[in-house]
Amino acid sequence: MIIDSKFNNNMNNYKIIIDNNLCKDINNYINFNCKTLVITDDLIPSMYYENILKNNNTYLYVIKHGEESKNIDNFIKINEYLLENEFDRFDQIIGVGGGVVTDLSGFIASTYKRGIKLILIPTSLLAMVDSSIGGKNGINFDLYKNSIGSFYNPSLVLVDSKCLDTLDDRNYINGLMEVIKMSSCFDKDLFNIIKNNNINTIRNYNFEIITKSIQIKNNVVNCDPFDNNERKVLNFGHTIGHALEIMNNNLLHGEAVGLGMYLMTTSDELKNLILKYINIFNLKKDLCLDKNEILSKIKNDKKCELGLINVIYLFDLCKYEIKKVNYEWIEGVLSEINNWK
Ligand SMILES: NC(=O)c1ccc[n+]([C@@H]2O[C@H](COP(=O)([O-])OP(=O)(O)OC[C@H]3O[C@@H](n4cnc5c(N)ncnc54)[C@H](O)[C@@H]3O)[C@@H](O)[C@H]2O)c1
């Protein structure tokens, strides 16, 4: 399946190719007649990039896995590595990994020599359906998530659904929360696939889940690449989710967004679906859910202006509203947090 990402502004268009096992035939998709740096993390199985490294002039940079690696030190070190090895702006970077790798690779590619070719090979479900699509990238800085970053499109995204075979269930569900987000706003059929399955059967639908989610994200982003209007819907669950993510190191991004969505909907169907998958890992017992702390983190959110913040509220499946609300309103929805069990 090939999806075209087309823009009416100065962002470049690119193709998203989705298939099973395409890492095996990588030379069918990528041209290696320039220098190539592969950026990955230390838990990504090497079989996803070893065929790239069989080509001449290919280099490998491995970061430590985990959110902490999306930092300025790695940004500097990888830029130094590119300079030492005399990469010029006609060479290419390939990010092979989850959202941490795709965000960091994207930010480096957007700034090195004012922009170098970027190819993404997302390997986690979250990276396939979300972080590698739409041109947003960034690093965490000064305790704030994604506080430095840019909009920069890759030249190509290669999505190999086979990579999900080695992704553990917790990280799979983490990505599934972003799929639930997109399907609850836009696609009841996709929502029902997730609803009618469970953790033992859902992976049989990987190809459908990936394809439909990418189509949704791609359509939304193409209408509003710089996140001024329509794209805001993709922040569903993120206002409270980000606060919870900062407060709880043990909570993954998608899990935090899942809980954030739970509090921003009156749809029992959505609430039940979120809990069905998140509760598998019995996360709540170790979480800090202090309402005052959540509120104070939201007040520091970069999207908060003059005491008001935009939130996405879902009344029913595929029926949402972008609302400007104050802190008292948020305090009201937080009272429901105890129902998350
Ligand atoms: N740019 C965007 O639009 C956007 C959107 C959503 C999330 N994000 C960012 O994405 C990041 C989260 O991404 P993530 O959940 O992929 O986390 P991650 O990159 O940390 O990956 C999660 C874990 O899974 C491992 N992994 C990944 N693929 C694997 C595979 N196929 N087999 C075995 N292990 C594998 C990784 O090594 C890592 O340990 C956050 O930093 C978040 O801010 C960005």
pLDDT tens string 246-283 = 899 889 999 999 999 999 999 999 999 999 999 888 87
What are phi and psi for residue 21, nearest 5 degrees? 80, 20
Ligand 1 binding pocket includes 135 (Cβ within 6 Å)? no
Burial class (CB within 10 angstroms; exposed 0-12, middle 13-18, buried 19+) of 295 = middle
Burial 8-40 (b: 16+ CB within 10 A, else e): eeebeebebebbeebbeebeeebebeebbbbbb
End-to-end CA distance of the chain: 39
**Which helix or strand (DSSP H or E) is residue 163 part of?**
none
- Going from the Cα of 38 to the center of ligand 1, the distance in angstroms, rounded, reads 16
Q: What is the pLDDT of residue 2?
A: 84
Q: What is the pLDDT of residue 9?
A: 61
Query: Which atom of ligand 1 is nearest the CA belonging to 138?
Result: 1
Ligand 1 binding pocket includes 121 (Cβ within 6 Å)? no
Q: How far is CA 98 from the centre of its chain?
A: 8
**Do 2-166 and 169-339 have matching folds?**
no
Contact 138, 116 (CB under 8 A): no
Q: State the Cα–Cα distance between residues 216 and 194, nearest whole angstrom.
A: 16
Query: Which atom of ligand 1 is nearest the CA belonging to 125?
Result: 16
Helix (H, G, I), strand (E, B) or coil at 243: helix
**Among 48, 103, 132, 151, which residue has the most ligand 1 atoms within 8 Å of its CB, making it the best to mutate?**
103
Other C-beta atoms lying within 10 Å of the C-beta of residue 180: 28
Q: State the Cα–Cα distance between residues 8 and 18, nearest whole angstrom.
A: 24
Q: What is the pLDDT of residue 7?
A: 66
Query: Which atom of ligand 1 is nearest the CA belonging to 175?
Result: 15
Query: Which atom of ligand 1 is nearest the CA belonging to 42?
Result: 37
Query: Hey, whose CA ends up nearest to atom 19 of ligand 1?
Result: 98
Helix (H, G, I), strand (E, B) or coil at 177: helix
Q: What is the pLDDT of residue 143?
A: 74
Q: What is the pLDDT of residue 201?
A: 97
Beta strands in the chain (DSSP E): 2-5, 14-19, 36-41, 58-63, 92-97, 117-122, 136-141, 144-151, 156-160, 308-316, 319-326
The domain locations on the chain are 2-166, 169-339
Ligand 1 binding pocket includes 82 (Cβ within 6 Å)? no
**What CATH class has 2-166?**
alpha beta
Name the CATH superfamily for 169-339: Dehydroquinate synthase-like - alpha domain (1.20.1090.10)
Query: Hey, whose CA ends up nearest to atom 22 of ligand 1?
Result: 98
- Going from the Cα of 123 to the center of ligand 1, the distance in angstroms, rounded, reads 8
Low-confidence residues of the chain, pLDDT below 70? 7-10, 302, 340-341
